[in-house]
Amino acid sequence: MKLFITGISGLLGLNIALQARERFQVSGCYHAHPVRLDGVQSLGMDLATPGQWEAALRETQPDVVIHTAGLTSVEGCEADPVLAQRLNVGVAQDVATVAREVGVRLVHISTDHLFDGTRPWRTEADRPAPLNVYARTKWEAEQAVLEACPDALIIRTNFFGWGTPVRPSFSDWVLRGLEEGRELHMFLDVFFTPILINSLGELLLELVERGTAGVFHVAGGERLSKYEFGLKLAETFGYPSGRIRPSSVDEFPFKAQRPKDMSLRTDAVTRLLGRQMPLVSEGLARLRRLGEAGWPTAVGAALQGADTLKRRR
Ligand SMILES: NC(=O)c1ccc[n+]([C@@H]2O[C@H](COP(=O)([O-])OP(=O)(O)OC[C@H]3O[C@@H](n4cnc5c(N)ncnc54)[C@H](OP(=O)(O)O)[C@@H]3O)[C@@H](O)[C@H]2O)c1
């Protein structure tokens, strides 16, 4: 099977490319950050420029597109709603429209950020109620994707893992702070169900191989606060946790309003695949093992010195 990953230079896209290249023929596109990965074809392009996406798809002829690209900074979306609309909704719609026309299957990556955060454990049947520009554009994107490409697989998630120098993950941020002995203020009143990016990648590829369509929550099996996540991360990596301070999201001067409970119920995917989603402690133990096995180095190296690749204009 041939996969094409949009956002191959991003946190999720690059990790999936590294995983998937063992079993699939992988290509993908980046925008500002060239990627060089053995066995993977990567193209530089602006997905928002008309015609470039269709040309890339016709050139690489994948069986499946995994669309991870977009404007993912919640504050960045709030600061530039026009760009957020173009990259998160307009591009997703184009990606889906051309995928349908060319006959390529589509996996669209969405988020746990869609709900208003007033209740835990949201299911796929709950209606989203976005609180900020990022969430609104991701919800609009889901609807545009399903309209253009009704057989698409939409995955709502939240992940941690080994990030890149360009795009550190949440767990990278915590680990860096612990390593430097900084005081970390982590939210006691924001809850989520995070999954290790490598576990998410495996589940996603399994769903792709089964030809699954529809909207699925693919997240961790455990709901916890960001503060508790920080404590567990410190414990797993053997750092003292004394410098992790509980705080409230209400104390931070964010421009975007944020949901306080983003936890996702994963019963549908659990039933479909016949197994439980991983617990945070399992994910963190695996994160540590991956770190010892050199995964972060492989992720970082893919984004360095890739200047020989030509950017399309
Ligand atoms: N991070 C999380 O915890 C999280 C949680 C829930 C859901 N998600 C969703 O998961 C997906 C991936 O997130 P991520 O954190 O991996 O994203 P990310 O690291 O911010 O990566 C975004 C990617 O989009 C590419 N891109 C941006 N503008 C582009 C353009 N005009 N043309 C082509 N490519 C463009 C970037 O390329 P360059 O870097 O080369 O410019 C980069 O590869 C997103 O759909 C996000 O909404 C993320």
The finding on whether 9 has its CB within 6 A of some atom of ligand 1 is yes
Give the bridge partners for 97, in sequence order.
none
**For residues 292 and 177, what is the distance between their CA atoms, to the nearest angstrom?**
19
**For residues 194 and 185, what is the distance between their CA atoms, to the nearest angstrom?**
19
Structural domains of the chain sorted by starting position, each given as residue range(s) with its CATH number in brackets: 2-168+195-223+264-283+294-301 (3.40.50.720)
What does the block give as tokens for 290? 């991956």
The finding on whether 203 has its CB within 6 A of some atom of ligand 1 is no
What does the block give as tokens for 104? 């390529």
Number of Cβ within a 10 Å radius of residue 191: 21
**CA 238 to ligand 1 centroid distance, Å:** 31
The finding on whether 33 has its CB within 6 A of some atom of ligand 1 is yes
The finding on whether 68 has its CB within 6 A of some atom of ligand 1 is yes
Closest CA to 38 of 63, 21, 57: 21
Query: Mind listing the pLDDT tens digit of every residue in the chain (313 residues)?
Result: 999 999 999 999 999 999 999 999 999 999 999 999 999 999 999 999 989 999 999 999 999 999 999 999 999 999 999 999 999 999 999 999 999 999 999 999 999 999 999 999 999 999 999 999 999 999 999 999 999 999 999 999 999 999 988 889 999 999 999 999 999 999 999 999 999 999 999 999 999 999 999 999 999 999 999 999 999 999 999 999 989 999 999 999 899 999 999 999 999 999 999 999 999 999 999 999 999 999 999 999 998 754 433 333 2
**CA 96 to ligand 1 centroid distance, Å:** 16
Mutate to test the pocket of ligand 1, among 8, 12, 16 (most ligand atoms within 8 A of CB): 12
pLDDT tens-digit readout, 171-213: 999 999 999 999 999 999 999 999 999 999 999 999 999 999 9
Residue 34 CA: which ligand 1 atom is closest? 40
- pTM above 0.85? yes
pLDDT tens-digit readout, 89-109: 999 999 999 999 999 999 999
The finding on whether 31 has its CB within 6 A of some atom of ligand 1 is yes
Indicate which residue's Cα is closest to atom 19 of ligand 1: 10
